[in-house]
Each structure stands twice: as structure tokens, then as C-alpha cells.
Structure 1
């Protein structure tokens, strides 16, 4: 049994991920922006805990990190929360995973939700500081963060996952990929030990793919972390 945090878990891929993990007997802590979204009879009783906070606000991200402390060290943290709405994209998609990772006790496994759209993201980090980034940019940056962490912390594995273009509220009803497959890779990475590579993978449907070259470039990884540290006042190490 593993202790696992899933952010953005009220609906969509996050909700599906959390439910699948709980169904498998794991202790799941769910993060939601608004607890009123948890309306079902089992929506509180089946969880190890419920953490609340708006990941579009830096102070609330810090608050989410403080709430996680009462659960101790997580076996896995799945940074699922994401948005395509500007201007929240940068903070929710990139800054929040960075700050939560930096402020929380280092978990055994980190999993960041990416997107195939990260391949058209920009390496111009002035977009991050100026707040002018696109969704594609933010997904390139969170992919880079995940792969940077893969070699940064001993005892913590880190992966990025493309869940596919699935028919969620964000993906739209006409999205062509399989909804069930959209969460299975995250669940597998969070709970299985026979994963190859053990860290640093970019995954799509339990198969590794080649990500944007910049995401594996150590110089770009270092520049991104430096910019995130400067923007947030939070050091990664």
C-alpha cells in the first residue's frame, strides 16, 4: 500500500487517477481547489485526506505544501492539476509543481503531467518572467522540471507523462484518445517498481517517447530552475 498525493483531483484525469489508486487499496490524499466539488457520498470517506488550495495563487500553493506536512513523506506525488486558461497557465502548470516539490518532504516518486503540445513550447524563459507564456510553453517547462529532478535527488525518481488528448472538460468531448488510458500510466508509475527507465522517462501509454530536446538539456534545466527560484523566492535544494 502506497501513500500518494494527486493534485487537481476533483474531476477529469485527476479524479480518475485518484479513484483508480483508491480502488487498488492505496492511501490517497487528494488536492482540490474547491471542496464543494467533492459531492459524492464516498468523496471524503475513501480518501486518506483532502487538501485544498488554489494553485493559481502562490500563497495558496505554499498553504497546500503546509497541509501535506501532516501526512509525512509520500510514496508518490502526481502533479496532475493543469489549466489552459490564461493568465493562470504559468502558475498552475509550472510554478505550482515546482513550489510544491521544493517545499514538500521529498517523495519516493514524482510524476508530472505533460502534453504532446510541449513539443511546440518555447525555450525563451523571458516568457515565464513576463507572464506571456502559452500552454505549450508551460508544458515544456514542467516536462523539463520533471526530467531535471530525475538526476537531482538521490532516492527520488521523477517522470513526465503525456496522458493523450482525452475527452475531459479541458480536452473537450471530441478528443480522440482513450479516456481510460489517460490515467493508467500515472497509476502504474506511482505504484510499480519494475519501471524502465527507473527515472527520467517521458511516457505515453506506458511507453517511453522522445521529448523536446530542450527538456533533456542540462543547461536549459538549470536555467529554468534558476528562473523559477528567482520568480518564487523558493529554492529547490
Structure 2
């Protein structure tokens, strides 16, 4: 049976991916900071080990790695847990530096640290790493000076990891706009109901995993368009 570890799995894209891989019968190790939401998400899914905690906590990362080790080789790691930063989004001229450090710690350092712990299990499976990126990593949106550059850094970490670990597949995945709690925090007071649900992005991630194209940066919109054209 295949095994995946997915961070930030209590809502949004993390929950949608957890549900999709559970439906495939996978063993799953998942986490989130919100205990109530995580327990509720895991309650209805089989073969899910849910661990409450923050990916920036080294002890929590060790607990995730230990839980995944029980299942043996790790087929898939999805570094989905992310930190938006202050809301409303501040301009760089007044961006709180402590908040900026938290954004980078969550979006860059923690994914790399967790990947380091899991590399032996990933290598044993010839596994896949999916680092969730953003269009803000490549577009200079005003107000996104914390989150966007952190995701750009994660993109480059992904590219270097792919060069250093050629037996793995390492993808930086840009899901595009989604109707999620994080996206709502980025636009407080605005109606974001026109954004697609996170579940609509799942087929693009499944395609990356199933077809295993060359490591690199991929956008959901391109993968989904190509699927429709087939």
C-alpha cells in the first residue's frame, strides 16, 4: 500500500488532497495546527494518522517522520502548510519583520527541514515531493512582499533539490486562486465566492504524481488544460 505525508491537511487544498488519496486506499500521515478541524477531517477517512502541531516545531516534524516510518518507504510528500502573514497584507515599507521571519520559517525552512528528515524514506520509494507554490512567487503583487518571495524561495529550493536528488520527482506546484480560508484572509471583507474550490485542483496534482513528468515548476491551469485537450 502506498503512503503519503500531507501537511496543512485540515482544510483547503490539504484536505482535498487527503480525501483524494484516502479514496485511493493510501496510508496517510497528516497534520495541521487546528486540532478540532484536523480531528474532524480525519474522523471519516480510513488509514489516516493525524498529528496536531506546527511544522515550524522540530519536535512536531520528528513526530511526523516517525509516524511515516511505521509504513516504510514514502511515496509522496506534500508540503502544503503555509503562512500568509499579516492581514490585511502590508506593503514592504511597513512589513513587520518578526512576521516576515514567521512566513519564511513556515514556507521555506519547515518544508526543507521536513524533507531532510524524510529523504531516506522517499529515496527508498523513488518518491515524489510536491511543494505548494503560488502565482505570487512570480508576479509582483503589491502587498504580497512576504508570502510571494517566500514561495519564490521554495520554488528554488525545489529546483535545487531536484538537481541533487535525480531519482526523486520534485515539483513546485502553483494551484492558482482557490476559495480557501487563506485566500479570504488575503482579501478581508471581499467576496471570493467566484474562486474555484480547492477540490478542482486535485486532478492536476494526481496527474503529476501518476505521470511523473520531469521535476520542475507546474501550474494547475496548464495541467488541467492539457488534460481536457487529451
Higher helix share: 2
Q: What residue in structure 1 maps to residue 114 of structure 2?
A: 100
Q: Mapping of 1:157-168 within 5 angstroms?
A: 157-168=169-180
> How far did 1:112 drift?
0.4
Query: Does residue 204 of the first structure (1) align with residue 220 of the second (2)?
Result: yes
Give the number of equivalent residue pairs: 194
Task: Tell me the secondary structure at the aligned position of residue 110 of structure 1.
Answer: strand
- Of 132, 148, 156 in structure 1, the residue corresponding to residue 168 of structure 2 is 156
Q: Mapping of 1:48-197 within 5 angstroms?
A: 48-85=48-85, 86-87=99-100, 88-104=102-118, 105-107=120-122, 108-120=127-139, 134-172=146-184, 174=192, 176-179=194-197, 180-190=199-209, 192=210, 194-196=211-213
Counterparts of 1:151 and 1:37 in 2: how far apart (Å)? 37
Which ranges in structure 2 are unaligned for 5 or more consecutive residues?
86-98, 185-190, 225-230
Q: 1:164 to 1:177 in 2, by over 3 A?
A: farther
Q: 1:175 to 1:98 in 2, by over 3 A?
A: farther
> How far did 1:42 drift?
5.6
Q: What are the Cα deviations for residues 76-124 of structure 1, in whole angstroms up to 9, with x where unaligned?
A: 1111111202342111111111000111134210000000000147xxx
Q: What are the Cα deviations for residues 179-218 of structure 1, in whole angstroms up to 9, with x where unaligned?
A: 232333223323x0x343x32242323539xxxxxxxxxx
> How far did 1:53 drift?
2.2
Counterparts of 2:9 and 2:150 in 1: how far apart (Å)? 20
In the TM superposition, structure 1's runs of 4+ consecutive aligned residues that sit over 6 Å from their partners are: none
Counterparts of 1:91 and 1:102 in 2: how far apart (Å)? 15
